[in-house]
A and B are shown apart, each in its own frame.
Chain A
Amino acid sequence: MKMGKWRADGQAFLFLLPFLVVYVLFTIFPMIKGVEMSFYKWTLIRKMDYLGSGNYERMFQDQEFWASIWHSTIFVLITTPTMLVLAMVLALIANRNSRLQRFYRSVFFIPSILSVAVASFLGLFVFQPYTGLLNSMLHWLGLLAEGAEIFWLTETHLAWIAISLLTLWWTVGFNFILYLSALQDTPDEVYEAARLDGASDSQLFWRITLPLLSPITRTITMLQIIASFKVFVQIYVMTGGGPLDQTRPVIQLIWQTGFRKNDLGYAAAMSYMLFAILLVLSALQYWMNNRKEAN
C-alpha cells in the first residue's frame, strides 16, 4: 500500500496499539517480572527477602522437582507414539468410502469438545474400582473374576495407563482431523495408478500413504510432545498426582509451590526451567520443519 512515511508510521501504530497493550502487559512484562520474582522469597501477599540465585540452587537439588519433570516426561513418552498410531488408524477408518464416513468423523472428534473438567471426571468415574464403568464391564464380560478389582487410579503403573487412555480418548480428535485432511488432500489417482500396477492394500499403506503423511506426522509429533509435557488437569482430577505424588506433573508442582506452599518466588524459578524445556522443544520443532522444507 502506498502512503507517506509519517502517515504510515501513525496508521501502523494505531492498528498495532490494542495488541501491543495486551501483549506487553500480559505476556512480555510477566516474562520479565518472573525473573525478578525468581530471585526473591516472594509470597502471595508480598515481596520478601532477596535470595540471589537461592531459588535456582534449591531447584537443582530438589528431588521433588526432578521427579515431577520425569513424570511429565513419562506422560510424553506414553502418549506421543500411541496418539500418532491411534489418530492415524481413526483417520484411515473415517477416510474409507462408506456411508458411515460422517458418523465416524463426528464420533471420533466429539470427545475433544468436552470441557477438560467433564472429560477428566468421566475418566475418574470410568476407572473407579468397585463402581466404575470399566471394572463393571470387565466383571460382566467375565474378564475379571468376581470379587477381584483392578485399582486403576491408586497403583502407579495402572494410573498412567488410565490417565493416558482418557487423554487419548479426549484429545485424539484434533490429530485425527489433521491426518484426515492430509489423507483427503491426496489425489485418488495416486492410489489408482498403484493399484493398476498390482499393489496390495498393505503395500499401498506402507509405500504410499505413510510417506505422504510423514510431514503431518512430524508436525503432530512435535505439537503432541509439547502439549503432553504441559499436562495437568486430567492428572489433578483423576489421581491428584498420587499415589504418593508418583504421577504429579511439573505444572501441578509449580501450582502447589506457588499457591499451596505460598512460595511464588520458587514457583517462578521452576517456571523458567519449564520455559527452557519447552523452548528447546520448540526450537527442535522449528529446526525439523525447516529441514523438511529444505528437502
Chain B
Amino acid sequence: MKWFYRIFSLCMGLLFLFPLIWMLVVSVKKEGMKIITVVDWFTPPYSLAVYHEIITGTKLLHWSWNSFFIAVCVTVLTLVIAAMSAFAVSKIPFRYRTFMFFFILAGLLIPGEAILIPLYQVAKDLDILNSYQGLILPALASPFAIIILKSFFDGIPNELLESIQMDGGGVWRIFTSIMLPLTRPALVSIAILTFIGSWNNFLWPFMSVTDDNLFTLPMGIPTLMNQYTEDYVKPMVINTVASLPIMVLFLIFERQIIKGVSLSGIKG
C-alpha cells in the first residue's frame, strides 16, 4: 500500500512536470526534423539556432521587459497606495471613517471583467490608450490589498503609536517607521499576489493596446504564434524564453511566494 502511494505520487509529479520538460526539450531541438513517435521529440540533434533567431528577430524580449516593468510598477504603486489608505482607515480617527471603509469594501464586489467595456471608453476619453500609464493606472486600486492590510494594521496597539507621538513624531513617521516594518510579511505577500496578477493580466492590455511596442507577454505571444503552425520548435522557444525568467524568480522566492498564496485564502 505504501508503495502504491509512492508510485502514484511520483506519477502525479511527473505528469505535472512532463509538459514543461517537453517544452524545454523541443525548444533546443534542431528545426525541421521529422517526428514519427513521441521519442523523436527527445532525441538529438539539438540546436540553439532558433533561440538566436527568436531573440534577435522578434520583440519577445522587449515584451518580457514590458511585462516585468509594468508588473513592478503596479506592485510598488499598489502597495504604497493601499498601505496609505489602510493606515488612514485603521488608525486615523477621521469623520466618515465607517463610510469610507464600506466604500472600499464595496470595491471587492466589482469584478474587473464587468467594467472593461466602459473602462475602455474612460481610458479613451483620458487619452491613455496605447500608453504605459494606460496599462498601469487602472490596475492600482486594490480594495483587497487595503482590507487585508487594514486587518494587520488593526493588530498594532495604539499605545505604540501614541508613544511615538509623545516623542514628537508625526503621522508620516508613524506610518513609515512603525506600521510598514511591523507588517512586512503581509506586505510581501500582497506584493507577490499583485505581481502574479499583473504578470498574467491579459484582457486589459488586449483591449487597450494596439501598438506592438507596448505589448505585454500574454498578448504578444499569440501574435507571434500565429505565424508558426507547422514546426513546434519556434513556439516552444517562444514559450521557454517567456517562462524562464519567471521560473528562476519562483525558485529563488519560492518560500515567500507559497506563503503569499496561502494568504489569498483569506479572500474568501
Spell out B's residues near A (CB within 8 Å): 5-6, 8-10, 12-13, 16-17, 19-20, 22-23, 35, 37-39, 41, 67, 80-82, 84-85, 87-89, 91-95, 97, 100, 104, 107-111, 113-122, 126, 137-138, 140-141, 143, 146, 158, 161-162, 165, 171, 174-175, 196, 199-200, 202-203, 206-207, 217-222, 225, 232, 235-236, 239, 242-243, 246-247, 250-251, 254, 257-258, 261-262, 264-265, 267-268
Q: Give B39 Cβ to nearest chain A Cβ, in Å.
A: 7
Residues of B within 8 A of A223 (CB): 267-268
Task: Taking A220-B265, A255-B206 as given, write out 16 further A-B residue pairs in contact, using a Cβ cutoff of 8 Å, ordered by the A residue number.
Answer: A1-B92, A1-B171, A12-B100, A15-B87, A16-B100, A31-B110, A115-B221, A117-B220, A122-B239, A136-B38, A136-B41, A169-B19, A173-B261, A223-B267, A275-B110, A285-B268
Dominant SS among interface residues on chain A = helix
Residues of B within 8 A of A232 (CB): 202-203
Q: Give A228 Cβ to nearest chain B Cβ, in Å.
A: 12
A205 within 8 A of B: no
A267 and B207 CA atoms in complex are apart in Å by: 13
Q: Which of A12, A111, A271 contacts B16 (CB 8 A)?
A: A111
Spell out A's residues near B (CB within 8 Å): 1-3, 5, 8-9, 11-13, 15-16, 18-20, 22-23, 25-27, 29-31, 33-34, 37, 42, 89-90, 93, 96, 98, 100, 103-111, 113-118, 121-122, 125-126, 131, 133, 136-137, 139-140, 169, 173-174, 177-178, 180-182, 216, 218-220, 222-223, 226, 230, 232-233, 237, 251, 254-255, 258-259, 264, 267-268, 271-272, 274-275, 278-279, 282, 285, 289
Q: Are A258 and B94 in contact (CB under 8 A)?
A: no
Q: Which of A2, A27, A268, A278 contacts B165 (CB 8 A)?
A: A2
Q: Give A256 Cβ to nearest chain B Cβ, in Å.
A: 12
Q: Are A174 and B261 in contact (CB under 8 A)?
A: yes
A259 and B120 CA atoms in complex are apart in Å by: 10
A229 and B195 CA atoms in complex are apart in Å by: 23
Residues of A within 8 A of B85 (CB): 15-16, 18-20
Q: Which of A125, A169, A178, A282 contacts B265 (CB 8 A)?
A: A178
Q: Are A18 and B81 in contact (CB under 8 A)?
A: yes
Residues of B within 8 A of A107 (CB): 13, 16-17
Q: Are B93 and A3 in contact (CB under 8 A)?
A: yes
Residues of B within 8 A of A125 (CB): 232, 235-236
Residues of A within 8 A of B262 (CB): 177-178, 180-181
A26 and B108 CA atoms in complex are apart in Å by: 14
Residues of A within 8 A of B202 (CB): 116-117, 232-233
Q: Are B242 and A118 in contact (CB under 8 A)?
A: yes
Q: Are B258 and A93 in contact (CB under 8 A)?
A: no
Q: Which of B140, B200, B243 contacts A22 (CB 8 A)?
A: B140
Residues of A within 8 A of B8 (CB): 93
Q: Are B243 and A27 in contact (CB under 8 A)?
A: no
Q: Give B1 Cβ to nearest chain A Cβ, in Å.
A: 8
Given A1-B93, A107-B17, A136:B107 Cβ within 8 A: no
Q: Are B221 and A121 in contact (CB under 8 A)?
A: yes
Nearest A-chain residue to B201, judged by Cβ: A116
Q: Give B90 Cβ to nearest chain A Cβ, in Å.
A: 9
Interchain residue pairs A-B with the least CB separation, the first 8? A219-B268, A12-B94, A34-B118, A275-B114, A15-B88, A181-B262, A23-B141, A117-B221
Nearest A-chain residue to B84, judged by Cβ: A15
Q: Give B86 Cβ to nearest chain A Cβ, in Å.
A: 9
